[in-house]
């Protein structure tokens, strides 16, 4: 196939299938790359495979003013750098920012080893950068809207919590279970228990449910203590008033009873005796 005609807008983003040998030093990283971490052992294995069999699939790049920008093939490029290669086979393609970001994300999704937090960040970046709705993004990526939404919910977790989850290699379902907790401190506390006791997802969900129930019970006790304290303030005020009335010469009887559902406070004031005229 030949190069795309720049004057034909219908072929503006058509593949330029000619494979070229490009200098590695002229290829800059993809700013839309969703993958944050590249496992060194995996890169070593890929480099060994490339050294033996060569690059089976060329990189995809787009032209920039000073050279090229990587669109797809980050791991292959890193592996070639490890091997000390000076050039790599690549296909130059005309792409705008949105298509560049989409291709980078799709390539990683197809590999199926993109971390769920990285995937969520990739979705969020596409939504924010290009003002897409979740439904529009789902259609462009061949995903369901619910799967996009479920991934994005994970970003509600604090960055510190996400880092610990990734470091401890907990699953996505572990992460989702933590969303039921309100504070970062509670989430980190639960993670510590999950890791120490090697809890699976079901055990983690049950533990969180018990944790939340216990929290509600403690909260209820606190409320009851506060109510009781408020009632005591009231009864003490009544007692003070009773003492004032007694000091003025009145006969006052104060009674207080606590029932299951209520407090009963009775104040009896004896009428002064009338003087005969």
Q: Whole-prediction pTM value?
A: 0.57
Low-confidence ranges of the chain (pLDDT < 70): 1-17, 110-113, 215-233, 258-261, 273-277
Q: Given 17, 25, 48, 74, which residue is catalytic?
A: 74
Q: How many angstroms separate the first and last alpha carbons of the chain? A: 127
Query: What is the reported pLDDT for 276?
Result: 55
Query: What is the reported pLDDT for 135?
Result: 92
Query: What is the reported pLDDT for 61?
Result: 93
| Catalytic residue list contains 74 | yes
């Amino acid at each position: 196939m030949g190069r795309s005609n720049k004057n034909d807008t219908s072929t503006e983003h058509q593949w330029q299938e000619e494979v070229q040998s490009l200098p590695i030093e002229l290829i800059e990283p993809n700013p839309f790359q969703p993958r944050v971490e590249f496992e060194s052992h995996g890169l070593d294995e890929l480099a060994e495979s490339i050294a033996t069999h060569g690059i089976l699939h060329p990189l995809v790049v787009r032209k920039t003013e000073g050279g090229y920008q990587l669109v797809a093939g980050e791991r292959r490029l890193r592996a070639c750098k490890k091997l000390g290669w000076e050039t790599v086979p690549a296909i130059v393609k005309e792409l705008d920012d949105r298509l560049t970001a989409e291709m980078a994300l799709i390539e990683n999704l197809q590999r199926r080893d993109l971390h769920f937090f990285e995937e969520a960040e990739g979705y969020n970046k596409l939504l924010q950068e290009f003002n897409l709705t979740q439904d529009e993004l789902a259609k462009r990526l061949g995903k369901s809207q619910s799967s996009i939404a479920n991934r994005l919910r994970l970003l509600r977790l604090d960055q510190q919590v996400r880092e610990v989850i990734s470091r401890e290699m907990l699953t996505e379902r572990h992460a989702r279970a933590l969303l039921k907790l309100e504070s970062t401190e509670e989430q980190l506390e639960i993670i510590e228990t999950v890791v120490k006791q090697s809890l699976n997802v079901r055990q983690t969900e049950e533990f969180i449910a018990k944790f939340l129930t216990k929290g509600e019970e403690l909260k209820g006790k606190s409320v009851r203590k506060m109510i009781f304290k408020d009632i005591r303030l009231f009864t003490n005020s009544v007692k003070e008033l009773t003492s004032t009335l007694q000091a003025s010469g009145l006969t006052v009887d104060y009674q207080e009873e606590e029932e299951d559902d209520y407090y009963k406070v009775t104040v009896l004031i004896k009428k002064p005796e009338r003087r005969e005229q």
